[in-house]
Amino acid sequence: MSRGLLFLLPLVACSPSNAATDGGADAGDAAAAFTYAPSGCPYTVTLPQLRGYLSPALDDASPITNVAGATPARVRVGLGGPSTGADATTSAAFTWDTPAQLNAAQVRIGTSPTALTTVQKGYVWVTPPPTIGLGDTEAGANMHEVHVCGLTPGTTYTYQVGGGAPGQDVWSAAQTFTTLPSTGSITIGVSGDARDSATIFQLVQERMRDAAVSMQIFSGDLILFGAEESLFQAWLTAAWTDPQNASSFLTLGQELILPVAGNHEDSSAQFYGNFALPGDGPYAESFFSVDIGSAHIVMFDDQQIAYDTPADETAAALAFIDTDLTAAEQNRAKVPFLLAVHHRSEFGNGADSGDPDVIEARNALNPLWDKHHVDLVINGHEHDYERTQPMTGPPAAPVVQTSTTSGTTYVICGGAGANADPPQSPASYDVSQMSYGGTTPYIGVYAFMTLAAHTLTWTAYGLEASGTDATVDTFTLTR
């Protein structure tokens, strides 16, 4: 299904918005200023009212009587913390959903499967369906989340999620995850645009598991319609369960994943309810940054920027990015690489490269990357693989630079399940371009990015059903 056709559907499903028409009841129906203060963490979590979440409550260790309805599902590892300064080496956030609504939100965790000695409490809420449009007949999502701090870098932990009164409690099966190391190289899995095939998305997740990446970045459009909770459940289940062994896990709950919303998520409450991301305040999780090894990475939902509405959120996002990168430049001796991740492909050559929303985002963002000498911008949106030479503006006529430190390299890696978009004629600034499907052996694309002290090495692969994936591009940036 093309992105153009999407806009013929009910407006609630695709127009830029962040009110509860995309995610449920009016924001005023949600409890005002609900705050969760995770024990031992140097931050608090305040549910943003614009998401319209309902029935927020802290864990109360009530007895569990409906065991089937209380069984945790689709456990994922995310990251909490402030909009800038979240620490993936010593903290993690665990999110899951249950069929029934209950106030059970606990994690028991330890470095040994037989000694889950630390118990941390969290909070719950209901993400309601939209009042009209796609997803309006679905049930609300019963969500649970717990933040844990004070962990040891580069350490593998075993954990279970669930809760309830002793003797009347329910827990998930044990899973493991590893905190990011504080020194040495780090490999990040990168993908985007999974929305048309959960099966191909699952294959990409198998590659991430087999490569034992330290974490994943996803550049948006996980599903087709962002207000449909059932689609999130289907795609997340594909990443949660090993298709070769139903009793084993794949990557969900095993690896930290930091996604940004794409145009198909449309800033929906369902998207934000399904993932734990850094940030607080009225636009919590819409934009944030994090230091991962030698890279400072700013990540954001570009939906409002692409349509310049609502103006207050657009202004807040752009101001955050500018201020954040100003501080990151001053810290470049310690963290040399500056990266940005958002959905729309700023300099793509696919069918959507000339769309007004893409041009709007490019015009707003390209000057910021030039101003702060950003090294790499990672996008999706076009369903192909593309890489440019290092470039500076102006946005309408980018200028190729001879050195990677003199311009920004733009990469599109959008093929984790979405139907292919054949690229148009290569632009003068293109270095690499690859479509999948048709006569190619590839059914998608993904990449690994390895960060060392002063090098960033990127390798992209064409996904093949046979598992014999070929390298389709590789490059190295040095700082």
> How do residues 326-350 score in pLDDT, each as one tens digit?
999 999 999 999 999 999 999 999 8
Kindly report the pTM of this predicted structure: 0.93
Strands (E), 79-152: 84-86, 92-98, 106-110, 118-121, 123-127, 141-148
In this predicted model, what pLDDT tens digit does every residue of 19-63 receive, in sequence order?
333 433 333 344 468 999 999 999 999 999 999 999 999 999 899
Whether the CB-CB separation of 339 and 295 falls below 8 Å is answered with: yes
Q: Which of 270, 348, 285 is nearest to 316 (CA)?
A: 285
Q: Does residue 360 surpass a pLDDT of 80?
A: yes
State residue 118's pLDDT score: 95
State residue 426's pLDDT score: 87
State residue 30's pLDDT score: 47
Of residues 342 and 467, more confidence is placed in: 342
Ordered domains of the chain (ranges, CATH): 3-16+23-478 (3.60.21.10)
Q: How would DSSP label each residue in 153-167?
A: TT-EEEEEEEEEETT
User: Span 128-146, mean pLDDT?
Assistant: 95
State residue 32's pLDDT score: 63
Helix 229-240 × helix 198-211 angle, to 10°: 40
Mean pLDDT, all residues of the chain: 92
| Torsion of Cα atoms, 400 then 404 then 410 then 416, to 10° | 140
State residue 100's pLDDT score: 96
State residue 210's pLDDT score: 97
Q: Structure tokens of 309?
A: 């509405």
Q: How would DSSP label each residue in 26-73?
A: -GGGSPTT-EE--TT-S--EE--GGG--EEEEE---PPP--HHHH--E
Of residues 16 and 189, more confidence is placed in: 189
User: Span 142-169, mean pLDDT?
Assistant: 97
State residue 422's pLDDT score: 83
Query: In this structure, what DSSP letter does residue 251 have?
Result: S
Q: How confident is the model at residue 176 (pLDDT cuts 50, 70, 90)?
A: very high
Q: How confident is the model at residue 438 (pLDDT cuts 50, 70, 90)?
A: confident
Whether the CB-CB separation of 437 and 419 falls below 8 Å is answered with: yes
